[in-house]
Structure 1
Amino acid sequence: MLSDTPAELLQLTFRADLDLLVGRWTHQPEPALLPAAYQQLTHAALAHNCRYWLQDIRRRIVNDPAITRWLLAEYFPDMARRLAGLRVAYLTSPALLAHIMADPTFKPVEYYDSQPYQIHFFGDEGAAVAWLKEGQATRTTQKRNG
């Protein structure tokens, strides 16, 4: 059985070569562990000043609705402010993606165009990384032209 500590729940790796923070969730968490795991994520993101995150949640089965509301209303906007932007690619299993998209509050990727953060869901890690890299390239182009 897996340990129920935040460090075992969420394995974080900063990929300096890609300027990505990769978080791999090892199992379906108890909701009580999520705040500490997100604190761990916050610390790593700020330590590396990394606004591009790949979150591998394929081992999770469901999302906690209260945590999802908190992420969208508070956590992501706060992290986007602190990092001057945020782009999160979620790598999901087909079953979890279907569960997420069936939620009546689910927003399509276009919704996030007007938000200080962007979120997208993927079933393929290569596509997720490509989307994150696309965001980096767009940001670089905007800086040069701005």
Structure 2
Amino acid sequence: MNMEIPAPLIDFTHRADLDILVSRWAYQPHPRELPAVYQQMTDVALHEKSRFWLQDIRRRTLNDPETTNWLLTTYFPTMARRLDGRLFVAYLVGPTLHNSIINQPDYVSAEAYDDKPFAISFFGDEGAAIRWLQIQQTNKAH
């Protein structure tokens, strides 16, 4: 009997040298998989006291609108409060998903988050995403 064991959906690494929580998604999740993943993300972020996240979602092909709404209205504001400071999330995306995200009618740029307890930005290059997070770290007074 040959049973395939599915690969983990997400891998978390806290880069202590950069003070960045890196989450690498292995595949496009089914929405029912997300609550457990976000609970795991919460646990890791709180344990590491990390407010600077790199989400590598290059292997994902779409964003679930309900999940996106929940992230923006509930999860990210709650995590910022629980981490005692502004949360910064850099998404590393592939070109197809990136185009899909930025061309949605409700897409907002990183600057639109200036009055929010969190900020999000999208990148096609990991180095640029890390640089953005490092800039936020030097400005973390706001």
Q: Do both proteins adopt the same fold according to a TM-score greater than 0.5, normalized to the shorter chain? A: yes
Q: Structure 2 counterpart of 1:58, which letter?
A: R
Compute the displacement of 1:102 (Å). Answer: 2.1
SS in 2 for 1:28: coil
Q: What is the CA RMSD across the aligned residues, in angstroms?
A: 1.4
Q: 5+ unaligned residues in a row in structure 2: which ranges?
A: none
Question: Deviation at 1:61?
Answer: 0.2
Task: Name the structure where helix makes up a greater proportion of residues.
Answer: 1
- Report what 2:32 is aligned to: 32
Q: TM-score, normalised by structure 2?
A: 0.93
Q: What is the aligned length? A: 138
Which aligned runs of 4 or more in structure 1 are off by greater than 4 angstroms? none
Among the aligned pairs, what percent are the same residue?
52
> 1:2, CA displacement in angstroms?
6.6
2:107 aligns with 106
Query: 1:69 maps to what in 2?
Result: 69
CA displacement at 1:105 relative to structure 2: 1.5
Shift of 1:53: 0.2
Deviation larger for 22-31 or 77-86: 77-86
Paired with 2:6 and 2:79, the residues of 1 have a C-alpha distance of 27
Counterpart amino acid of residue 98 in structure 1? N
Structure 2 letter corresponding to 1:109 = A
TM-score (norm: length of structure 1): 0.90
SS of the residue corresponding to residue 114 of structure 1 reads coil
Cα separation, partners in 2 of 1:97 and 1:2, compared to 1, 3 Å: farther
Corresponding residue of 1:95 = 96
- Aligned residue for 1:85? 86
